[in-house]
Amino acid sequence: MIKTNKRTKYIENMFARLKVFIKAQFSAFTGGMCDYFIMIFLTELIGVYYVISIAISCILGAIVNFSLNKKWSFYSKEAGYMFSFPQQLWRFVLVVVSSIILKIAGTYCITTFAHIDYKVSRIIADIIVSLCFNYVLQRYWVFRNCIKPTTQWCGNWLPTKRPSTAGRK
């Protein structure tokens, strides 16, 4: 009986994590599509150099991605976020800036050294950066949920003072 409960909880936890992952990938895909079509528009129709259009489109796609992740992908009714909105935004900006650099470098390297069209190179670079870098940092560093939602350290606010650690081992 005990093993069945542990297995059931393990399976439920695994499916909950998979659901969050799928939602985050959908959010990333939506932001990525906005990003990609803006890049194509700026490069092909306006004539902006593709490296510059990637930087501009990444910022606009990031706004879409942040909004979806905060309100839907990583949102939990049971537990608030560990960090306040300003902290999340600052952390997200750091992830996005790093992501933009990785996407630009990846697209440039694939385009230059593999002689693949920049549109295809961009998709390859995006997939690698999204799965290996963005998801992990957004899930566990930017939009981290509270482990114990009843403690004063959780929620969308900053604590006024730390609880005393005297007497703890």
In a domain, 48, yes or no: yes
Structural domain for 86, as ranges: 2-142
In a domain, 160, yes or no: no
In a domain, 39, yes or no: yes
Amino acid (one-letter) located at 165: T
CA–CA distance, 118 with 109 (Å, rounded to integer)? 10
Coil, helix or strand at residue 49: coil
CA–CA distance, 125 with 111 (Å, rounded to integer)? 10
In a domain, 152, yes or no: no
Concatenating the DSSP letter of every residue in 108-160 gives HHHHHHH---HHHHHHHHHHHHIIIIIHHHIIIIISPBPSSTTSTT-SSS--S
Coil, helix or strand at residue 115: coil
Q: Give me the number of domains the chain comprises.
A: 1
- Count the Cβ atoms, other than its own, within 10 Å of residue 16: 11
Q: Output the six-digit token pair for 98.
A: 């790093």
pLDDT at 84 over 70: yes
Confidence at residue 164, expressed as pLDDT on a 0 to 100 scale = 47
Q: Output the six-digit token pair for 135.
A: 């998801």
pLDDT at 8 over 80: yes
- Its pTM stands at 0.70
In a domain, 163, yes or no: no
Confidence at residue 147, expressed as pLDDT on a 0 to 100 scale = 67
Confidence at residue 163, expressed as pLDDT on a 0 to 100 scale = 46
In a domain, 79, yes or no: yes
Q: Output the six-digit token pair for 57.
A: 């489109």
